[in-house]
Amino acid sequence: MSEAKGHGARPADTAPADTAPADTAADRPPADEQARVEAAAAKTAGRRAKGPLPLPGGLARLVDSRHAGLVAALVLLAVIGLVTKPGNFATSDNLVSILSLAATIGVITVGMTFVIIGGGIDLSVGAVMALASVWATTVATQSYGPGVMALCAVLVGTGAGLVNGLLIAYGRMVPFIATLAMLVAARGLAQRMSDRRTQLVRPENDAIEALSTTRVLGLPLVVFIFAAVAAAGWVLLNRTTFGRRTFAVGGNPEAARLAGIDVRRHTLLLYALSGLCCGIAAIIIMARTTTGSSTHGDLYELDAIAAVIIGGTLLTGGRGTLVGSILGLFVFTLITNLFILNGLDTSDQLIAKGAIIVAAVLLQRRGLEART
Amino acid sequence: METTADGGPLLVMSGIVKEFPGVRALDGVDLAVRAGEVHCLLGQNGAGKSTLIKVLSGAHRPDAGEIRFAGRPVRPAGPTDAMRLGIATIYQELDLVDGLSVADNIFLGHEAARFGFTRRGQMNRAARRLLERLGHGEIPPTAEVGRLPAAGRQVVSMARALSHDARLIVMDEPSAALAHDEVANLFRIIRELTAAGVAVVYISHRLEEIREIGDRVTVLKDGRTVAVGLPADRTPTSQIVTLMTGRTVEYVFPPRPGPREDAPEVLRVEGLTLPGHFHDVSFTVRAGEIVGLAGLVGSGRSEILEAVYGARRPTAGRVLLDGRPVKGASTADAVRLGMGLAPEERKAQALLLEESVARNVSLAGLRRFSSLGWLDRRRELAEVAQQLKALDVRPHDPARKVRTLSGGNQQKVVLARWLLNRRRLLLLDEPTRGVDVGARAELYGLIRRLADEGIAVLLVSSEVPEVLGLADRVLVLREGRVIHQAPGAELDEEAVLNMITEGSAMGTVGTP
């Protein structure tokens, strides 16, 4: 099963420093003595590991200590916004534009979080979203009305995800390679279908556009779509057997298999879920731009992966939170917004984002060391 | 060199202390090794053998004590440093790079090179000379190491040690991965090395090997040296065992009531075959019965368990549970039908180490707490807590990370996982590996109690006394075949050891 899980393709991930700093040969006794050492350690150590089964409580546990750093970063960015552009930052227009910007990649990030916690990676998300947007805006599809357009986007996304999942789970391909192939092929197919032209959503299908123009409680509907996907994702990850198995499959696929979990079927479902999210994201991008295009979602995969990683999810799988991913996404979106408001170069923006990824991972590692 | 000339020891380690957080792994160990001898290091799991050789090879820094090598005090700062001094270590898990050639592996870290370019021809010639010296000229220096069998890989490891002109070679369980005839070749190589003045520190659990190859024996127990330089060929086994365990009675096994006369047959295995692992294996396990498989590593014992469990697909034969054939080969089916497996490598194959005890226990029984996929976490916690109490897992805390538990308690977590749902058959692969002696008796009692409740148990252990003491019936395996079958109480350790190592005793013990 390890081929299907694809650890081989990401040798860097297996570096012990990333997962458990205490696991280096120097400060850990050999396996032989492990039992005795651990027995003694269990006796002496009075500290109680924080359990993943949280006690009943309110919102406090959503933003628990694991996310304190991200929340602090968000607050800091907001303060910077308020100081540098007091007149523009805190306006409702700007907040709406931040949330709309976050909605598209946000939905994709939800699916990506599942795939990465399950021990995989999905590079094809941006391309699959583009393909879904193109397929949903062809003349033929548009003739059936906005409902079928949305359904088409969701089906195309899920279908592409299923192909990814079949190749990885049953074809035993490394996730990196299978989804890389899908990235290239889906974008090619999108170009062919659209003849490399941007396809407009026709006026009679303006219900699609209405998703971003209609406002409820001052927020466009696409923001509610994102919120609904995020909430459903959180419940799925934290309150269902599917979510629990996702952690098991990503944390130790062999143990999951020997515990009677169908690891291959579960892997297939994870990629299908990611594809479904891409389909929903395609609806949002069609609503926001009123177009379907093969150029939509360029490099979204990197933004989504980066959001998941700075959100504290291990790239090796088995550990992570959806709340962290979404906070990570907002950190990125807020930076983009601040750079645009202040009229700064987008090149500097990219440099800042790169620095943040490195800083976030370094800080998380220190946090892990402090806890163990 | 003067130390070897006047007969003084080549290596003297004295008063070595090494502490890890919370435990003293080495508490004043002494070891003296002469040039040209095979010095055996004995001790139970956790006695400190591995830590000691890691101190010697520079992987660990000792907290106190002195190491003198060839008469001079040394303090190896790392494996490379130790190699330079002439101390080479061949670890249990051979540290070779699969994708590189034999010659590249032998000279890894000290490649023959000029201006950064490796000199392949020169390295290949040198590698061939080393391999020939080890009696394995047939291994081509250009072959990829990943394609060699276990014995070949070990030869490469030894060639690497020789390439450093090692004067002391430490071998950690070198025979564990070898077949019988390959062990003979290993011994031949060791004899040639010692004849050339190289000292060998030999670690093995197999007393019979130590009798054959060893000169002197040092015994460790709980991080201390309890005997130094005993003659390997004359010291009685009982004395060595007493030194290792610190007592004369080894294990306490629960009484064996055996299955009731009318107990139904739970598992029937017929003609199960998986080429390269086992052939034509047939047996039955009744409700309430513990059946043990005794055999060496590589005898097919774990593979049989995995085939029964659906984790491996046999090419012939069938498995019946409660009289119904188990179709297909999937662990999910096996679990649904009422089987449970406690695999050999607890940490790698059974546990989510970073997760809580509760999540580890409930992993295989999530369906039990869910409706339409929705988890009832309150019921999950309650039932897990109840199970932890029933098995007396300590500390009794469902939220604790499994990583922090002792080996015995981790094993109980694995058992609790299966007991959460009623099981018909438990497959236990090395249930007491890495479990300290005190906790073993408790596990034995627990396993027997489960059988008494009507569960059929199939047990695999590399410790023959464990199989004989615990199982109602024992199947003896050698090279993938069942060669003997008898009630556990009627077999003695020596006869079984003879059977599994060579089968020569078959005539004296009798066949079924």
Name every chain A residue with its beta carbon within 8 A of the beta carbon of B375.
239-241, 244
Residue of B nearest to A262 (CA): B332
Residue of B nearest to A23 (CA): B403
CB-CB: which of B54, B367, B406 is closest to A30? Answer: B54
The pTM score is 0.75
B456-461 vs B425-429, strand pairing mode: parallel
- Residue B225 CA, distance from chain mean position: 22
Chain B nearest-CA distance from A282, in A, is: 28
> Hey, of B18, B23, B313, B394, which one would you mutate to test binding to chain A, going by the most A CBs within 10 A of its CB?
B23
Q: A147: which strand partners?
A: none
**Residue B207: which pLDDT band, with cuts at 50, 70 and 90?**
confident
Reading phi first (left if > 0) and then psi (alpha if -120 to 50, else beta), residue B481 is in: beta
Chain A nearest-CA distance from B356, in A, is: 6
H or E element in which residue B279 lies: strand B278-286
Sign of the torsion angle spanned by Cα atoms A44, A49, A55, A60: positive
Name every chain A residue with its beta carbon within 8 A of the beta carbon of B23.
29, 33, 36-37, 40-41
* Chains A–B, number of C-beta pairs less than 8 Å apart: 169
Q: Is residue A55 part of a domain?
A: no
Chain A nearest-CA distance from B138, in A, is: 32
What whole-number distance in Å separates Cα of residue A304 and Cα of residue A302?
5
Reading phi first (left if > 0) and then psi (alpha if -120 to 50, else beta), residue B15 is in: left
Q: Is residue A103 part of a domain?
A: yes
Residue of A nearest to B397 (CA): A48
Contact A258/B349, CB-based, under 8 Å? Answer: yes
CB-CB: which of A27, A33, A248 is closest to B50? Answer: A33
Contact A32/B50, CB-based, under 8 Å? Answer: yes
B278-286 vs B224-231, strand pairing mode: unpaired
CB-CB: which of B46, B343, B349 is closest to A36? Answer: B46
Q: Is residue A203 part of a domain?
A: yes
The set of residues, in sequence order, having a beta carbon less than 8 Å from that of A282 and lying 6+ positions away, is A129, A130, A132, A133, A136, A153, A156, A157, A292, A296
Contact A49/B373, CB-based, under 8 Å? Answer: no
H or E element in which residue B474 lies: strand B473-478
Bond prior to B264 in cis (omega within 30° of 0): no
- The CA distances from residue B305 to B98, B267, B364, B428, in Å, are 29, 12, 18, 8
What whole-number distance in Å separates Cα of residue B348 and Cα of residue B350?
6
What whole-number distance in Å separates Cα of residue B53 and Cα of residue B344?
25
What whole-number distance in Å separates Cα of residue B505 and Cα of residue B212?
18
Please state the φ and ψ torsions of residue B128, each to the nearest 5 degrees: -60, -40
Nearest partner of A237 among A18, A62, A20, A2, judged by Cα: A62
Question: What is the structure's pLDDT at B94?
Answer: 63
Contact B50/A31, CB-based, under 8 Å? Answer: yes
Chain B nearest-CA distance from A41, in A, is: 5
Mean pLDDT for all residues in chain B: 84
Contact B366/A241, CB-based, under 8 Å? Answer: yes
Asked if A224 and A230 count as a contact pair (C-beta separation under 8 A), the reply is no
Name every chain A residue with its beta carbon within 8 A of the beta carbon of B58.
none
Tens of pLDDT, residue by residue over B367-378, are 888 888 888 889
Contact A42/B404, CB-based, under 8 Å? Answer: yes
Least confident of B253-267, B357-371, B450-464: B253-267
Q: Which two tokens stand for residue B158?
A: 């030894």
Q: Which residues of B347-359 are buried (b: 16+ CB within 10 A; e: fewer)?
A: bebbbbbbbbbbb
* Residues B182-208, mean pLDDT to the nearest whole number: 84
Name every chain B residue with its beta carbon within 8 A of the beta carbon of A242.
373
Question: What is the structure's pLDDT at A357?
Answer: 87
- Spell out the per-residue pLDDT of chain A, length 372, in tens: 333 443 433 333 333 333 333 333 344 444 444 444 444 444 444 344 334 444 444 445 545 667 888 888 899 999 998 898 888 888 888 888 899 889 999 999 999 999 999 999 999 999 999 999 999 999 888 899 899 999 999 999 999 999 999 999 999 999 999 999 999 999 999 999 999 999 999 988 888 998 988 888 888 999 999 999 999 999 999 999 999 999 999 999 999 999 999 999 999 999 999 999 999 999 999 999 999 999 999 999 999 999 999 998 988 899 899 999 999 999 989 988 898 888 888 888 888 888 988 888 887 776 655 544
Name every chain A residue with its beta carbon within 8 A of the beta carbon of B60.
26
Q: Is residue A245 part of a domain?
A: yes
Contact B23/A29, CB-based, under 8 Å? Answer: yes
What whole-number distance in Å separates Cα of residue A251 and Cα of residue A332?
27
Contact A255/B348, CB-based, under 8 Å? Answer: yes
Contact B355/A247, CB-based, under 8 Å? Answer: yes
Contact B355/A43, CB-based, under 8 Å? Answer: no
Contact A247/B46, CB-based, under 8 Å? Answer: no
Contact A42/B348, CB-based, under 8 Å? Answer: no
Q: Which two tokens stand for residue A351?
A: 């440099």
> Hey, of A1, A14, A32, which one would you mutate to test binding to chain B, going by the most B CBs within 10 A of its CB?
A32
The set of residues, in sequence order, having a beta carbon less than 8 Å from that of A101 and lying 6+ positions away, is A333, A336, A337
- The CA distances from residue B354 to A52, B359, B401, in Å, are 10, 10, 6
Checking if the pLDDT of B236 tops 80, the result is: no
Asked if B350 and A282 count as a contact pair (C-beta separation under 8 A), the reply is no
- The CA distances from residue A261 to B115, B336, B392, B457, in Å, are 54, 10, 27, 22
Nearest partner of A286 among A300, A275, A272, A297, judged by Cα: A297
Question: What is the structure's pLDDT at B3?
Answer: 42
Coil, helix or strand for B427?
A: strand
What whole-number distance in Å separates Cα of residue A315 and Cα of residue B155?
37
Q: Assign 3-class secondary structure to B224-270.
A: EEEEEEEECCCCCHHHHHHHHHCCCCCCCCCCCCCCCCCCCEEEEEE
Task: Return the DSSP state at A201.
Answer: P
Sign of the torsion angle spanned by Cα atoms A152, A157, A160, A165: negative
Asked if B312 and B258 count as a contact pair (C-beta separation under 8 A), the reply is no
* Residues B318-324, mean pLDDT to the nearest whole number: 92
CB-CB: which of A36, A242, A248 is closest to B23? Answer: A36
Q: Is residue A246 part of a domain?
A: yes
What whole-number distance in Å separates Cα of residue B72 and Cα of residue B68?
5
What angle, rounded to 10 degrees, do the helices at A221-239 and A263-289 form?
Answer: 170
Residue of A nearest to B45 (CA): A32
Nearest partner of B427 among B364, B361, B334, B496, judged by Cα: B334
CB-CB: which of A28, A49, A244 is closest to B401? Answer: A49
Name every chain B residue with its beta carbon within 8 A of the beta carbon of A255.
348-352, 363
Contact A31/B20, CB-based, under 8 Å? Answer: no
Domain count, chain A: 1
* Residues B227-240, mean pLDDT to the nearest whole number: 80
Q: Is residue A150 part of a domain?
A: yes
- Residue A295 CA, distance from chain mean position: 20
Question: What is the structure's pLDDT at B95?
Answer: 75
Sign of the torsion angle spanned by Cα atoms B230, B236, B237, B239: negative
Coil, helix or strand for A248?
A: helix
Name every chain B residue with its beta carbon within 8 A of the beta carbon of A44.
22
| Structural domain boundaries, residue A133 | 68-78+86-367
Asked if A77 and A338 count as a contact pair (C-beta separation under 8 A), the reply is yes
Task: Return the DSSP state at B110.
Answer: S
For residue A110, what is the domain's CATH number? Answer: 1.10.3470
CB-CB: which of A38, A240, A259 is closest to B373? Answer: A240
Chain B nearest-CA distance from A177, in A, is: 21
- Residue B277 CA, distance from chain mean position: 18
**Residue B474: which pLDDT band, with cuts at 50, 70 and 90?**
very high
Coil, helix or strand for A178?
A: helix
Nearest partner of B49 among B191, B188, B164, B201, judged by Cα: B201
Say if A262 is an interface residue toward chain B (CB within 8 Å).
yes
- Long-range contact set of residues A229-234: C-beta below 8 Å, sequence gap at least 24: A229/A106, A229/A107, A229/A110, A229/A277, A229/A280, A230/A106, A230/A107, A230/A110, A230/A322, A230/A326, A233/A110, A233/A111, A233/A113, A233/A114, A233/A322, A234/A322, A234/A323
Q: Report CA dihedral (A268, A272, A274, A280) to the nearest 10 degrees.
A: -170
Enumerate the H helices of A201-299 as residue ranges: 206-213, 221-239, 241-251, 253-258, 263-289
Higher pLDDT, B333 or A42: B333
Chain B nearest-CA distance from A136, in A, is: 32
Nearest partner of B355 among B403, B287, B299, judged by Cα: B403
Asked if B47 and B244 count as a contact pair (C-beta separation under 8 A), the reply is yes
* Residues B468-496, mean pLDDT to the nearest whole number: 87
Among A residues 33-62, those touching chain B with beta carbons less than 8 Å apart: 33-45, 48-53
Tokens 């050639």 sit on residue: B101
Nearest partner of B160 among B74, B240, B80, judged by Cα: B80
Tokens 């004043």 sit on residue: B28
Q: Is residue A247 part of a domain?
A: yes
Contact B401/A247, CB-based, under 8 Å? Answer: no
Name every chain B residue with its beta carbon within 8 A of the beta carbon of A37.
20, 22-23, 25
> Hey, of A2, A27, A53, A372, which one would you mutate to test binding to chain B, going by the most B CBs within 10 A of its CB?
A53
Checking if the pLDDT of B26 tops 60, the result is: yes
Q: In order of start, what are the domains of chain B with their CATH numbers?
A: 2-86+166-245 (3.40.50.300), 252-338+423-512 (3.40.50.300), 351-421 (no CATH)
Contact A240/B370, CB-based, under 8 Å? Answer: yes
Chain B nearest-CA distance from A255, in A, is: 4
Q: What's the one-letter identity of residue B320?
A: L
Contact A32/B309, CB-based, under 8 Å? Answer: no
Say if A319 is an interface residue toward chain B (CB within 8 Å).
yes
Contact B436/A32, CB-based, under 8 Å? Answer: no
Tens of pLDDT, residue by residue over A136-185, are 999 888 899 899 999 999 999 999 999 999 999 999 999 999 999 999 99
Question: What is the structure's pLDDT at A263?
Answer: 94
Least confident of A245-259, A342-356, B312-326, B414-428: A342-356
**Residue B508: which pLDDT band, with cuts at 50, 70 and 90?**
very low
Residue of B nearest to A36 (CA): B46
Question: What is the structure's pLDDT at A31?
Answer: 43
Q: Is residue A18 part of a domain?
A: no
Question: What is the structure's pLDDT at A15?
Answer: 38
Q: Which residues of B21-49 are buried (b: 16+ CB within 10 A; e: fewer)?
A: eebbbbbebebbbbbbbbbbbbbbbbbbb
Percentage of residues of chain B with pLDDT beyond 90: 29
Name every chain A residue with its beta carbon within 8 A of the beta carbon of B48.
33
Contact B20/A51, CB-based, under 8 Å? Answer: no
Percentage of residues of chain B with pLDDT beyond 70: 90
